[in-house]
Structure 1
Amino acid sequence: MSTEHSTTQPAELAWFKSSYSGTSGGDCVEVAATADAVYVRDSKSAAGGPVLRVGRGGWAAFVASSAE
């Protein structure tokens, strides 16, 4: 799986909280998708924190392996 760590991201990203995040507010992961990549960030440091960029194929493999 190919990943890239970056603090820059496309401005047009629409972030949403992962359904796998905890309900207590401490374990929140936000995800945004574009045509070629999926971006993941920790919602506690969303404004200026690091962002993980994963290719669509790598994300699909990750989600498929998580469901097993």
Structure 2
Amino acid sequence: DIEALSDNHTNLVIIDNAPLYTEGKVVGQGWNGMLILREGDKPVGWIAMDNYIHRSPITNYQKQML
């Protein structure tokens, strides 16, 4: 969710049942995540992840590790 970039308290966004893309084409459905990297309050980048390869739901442990 792009609004999370302006929210200084949100660093991890996970969207369940989202379309999964590669090269601009939908290749499946699953969870999609964005880990926001910040310098202070300023967003400086993000890491995107999804479950296209393994098709497993994200676990609470995985969320905590991120």
Q: Is the helix fraction higher in 1 or 2?
A: 1
Question: Normalising by the residue count of structure 1, what TM-score does the alignment of the two structures yield?
Answer: 0.36
Bigger RCO (CA 8 Å, 6+ sep)? 1
Q: Is the strand fraction higher in 1 or 2?
A: 2
Question: Normalising by the residue count of structure 2, what TM-score does the alignment of the two structures yield?
Answer: 0.37
